[in-house]
Amino acid sequence: MSGDTSKNASTTSACSAPNENPVVNPRPTSLTTNAGGPYVLGADGTVALSDTATLSGGTSAAGGTITFMLFSDSACANQVGGDVATAVDGADGQDYTSPPITVNSGGTYYWVASYGGDVNNVASSTACGDENETPLVIKPHISVSKSPDAQTILIGQTANFTITVTNDGDSTLTDVHVTDALAPGCARTKADIPGLASMAPGAIVTYTCSLANVTASLTNVAIATGKPPVGPDVSASDTAVVTAVAPATHPAIVIVKNPKSQTVTSGGTATFTITVTNTGDVALTDVTVTDALSPNCNKTIGTLAPGQAVSYTCTRPNVTASFNNVAVVTGKAGATTVTAQDTAPVTAKAKPLTPPTVKPKVVSHKKPKATG
């Protein structure tokens, strides 16, 4: 009896010792994921993508790993980078985030996550194209052109421009606006141009504008700014050089001395009328008339506006000989001196001769006295 008891006890112990908690039905698990987005390529042209997986339905002590794969096509045939994995510590609704994978181009990407399971938890995975597993990577961009690139105008004139705004990125831009500090008449918002409210990829808006009364040369800068679906605003600028130059001037002056000829009696006075006219297109200063042979005709006129004329009379007294009178006028337009002259010959004639006075001879009309 005792021998049978010992044998039975030994047999029972040997059967149960190797595995006291055998796994009969491992728990099923499920994965739900969310890759977020959209994402914006950074200034260096790259962005790091991550996927977050929620592992549910398993035990709180679940182990193993979740493997994440990223693809660039909807068939999940072209993998980007390599597999990345995250260790699992519980499959009861915990979240696991993948290590990042860096991409360098815009477009839609596709994540697939797979849990490998363990002895107590069944493996599970997501499928290519699952909801929230197709993050969009955008590369928003805007450009602006201000033409002509360079122009030359006269001081005081108007500079005219054509501005073209282009959405040359891959996502819609909203609230697009243009600023132009030196030519505020070129600024535009969606209130001015409805097409700037929302510009789809490839959209172009063109308009003309001007800057009046340009008094100095300037380098004009137009800046276009738009708001992408996510990320910071994008902007671009373009310059347009405006050179303002002084109008070309044609200074000129004319002097006329009348009469063109005259004759005076020797010792008499010659009288002249002198007219000076600014016949150019710019004001003249320091206008002066000199007349070497008729110094009474010298005159300082001063300033003459374009088209202005000044006349005056003068004389040359005690003309004793004929002479060819020359009046000379000079004036200044900045560093330029203009001059003109006119002649007025004067002929002096001798005084008429006065015949001598002859006393008349007295003839007597008395009859002779008779004689005898």
State how far the Cα of 153 lies from the Cα of 186, in Å rounded to an integer.
18
Each residue's pLDDT tens digit, 40-71: 998 888 999 999 999 999 999 999 999 999 99
- Banded pLDDT at 24 (limits 50, 70, 90): low
pLDDT given for residue 216 in this prediction: 95
State how far the Cα of 135 lies from the Cα of 34, in Å rounded to an integer.
9
Alpha helices (H) in the chain, listed in sequence order: 2-16
Percent of the chain with pLDDT over 70: 88
State how far the Cα of 303 lies from the Cα of 285, in Å rounded to an integer.
4
- Banded pLDDT at 20 (limits 50, 70, 90): very low
**Token pair 């671009």 is at which residue?**
236
pTM beyond cutoff 0.85: no
143-245 shares its CATH topology with 253-349: yes
pLDDT given for residue 4 in this prediction: 40
Q: Under DSSP, is residue 306 helix (H, G, I), strand (E, B) or coil?
A: coil
pLDDT given for residue 8 in this prediction: 39
- Checking if the pLDDT of 21 tops 90, the result is no
**Mean per-residue pLDDT for 70-91?**
97
In 3D, which of 167, 49, 174 has the Cα closest to residue 105? Answer: 49
For the chain, the first-to-last Cα distance in angstroms comes to 254
In 3D, which of 179, 169, 155 has the Cα closest to residue 203? Answer: 169
Higher-confidence position of 247 and 280? 280
369 — alpha (psi -120 to 50), left (phi > 0) or beta? beta
**Token pair 């831009």 is at which residue?**
173
* Mean pLDDT, the chain, integer: 90
- Banded pLDDT at 3 (limits 50, 70, 90): very low
Second-level CATH architecture of 253-349? Sandwich (2.60)
Where do the structural domains in the chain lie, given as residue ranges? 16-138, 143-245, 253-349
Percent of the chain with pLDDT over 90: 84
Instruction: Domain 143-245: state its class.
Output: mainly beta
Tokens of 20: 């006291």
In 3D, which of 142, 153, 349, 166 has the Cα closest to residue 265? Answer: 349
Each residue's pLDDT tens digit, 136-182: 999 999 999 999 999 999 999 999 999 999 999 999 999 999 999 99
Q: Are 96 and 58 in contact (CB under 8 A)?
A: no
68: CB partners within 8 A, 6+ apart: 51, 53, 83, 84, 85, 86, 98, 99, 101, 111, 112, 113
**Mean per-residue pLDDT for 316-334?**
95
pLDDT given for residue 115 in this prediction: 98
pLDDT given for residue 366 in this prediction: 63
**Token pair 């006269």 is at which residue?**
154
- The distance of Cα 236 from the centroid of its chain, to the nearest Å, equals 11
pLDDT given for residue 306 in this prediction: 95
- Banded pLDDT at 361 (limits 50, 70, 90): low
Tokens of 21: 């908690």
Instruction: Domain 16-138: state its class.
Output: mainly beta
- Checking if the pLDDT of 299 tops 50, the result is yes
Q: Which helix (H) or strand (E) holds 194?
A: none
Q: Are 289 and 312 in contact (CB under 8 A)?
A: no
- Banded pLDDT at 247 (limits 50, 70, 90): confident
Q: Are 165 and 224 in contact (CB under 8 A)?
A: yes
- Banded pLDDT at 12 (limits 50, 70, 90): very low
Count CA within 13 A, CB hemisphere, residue 79.
8
- Banded pLDDT at 17 (limits 50, 70, 90): very low
Specify the range with the lowest mean pLDDT, choosing from 21-25, 181-185, 356-360: 21-25
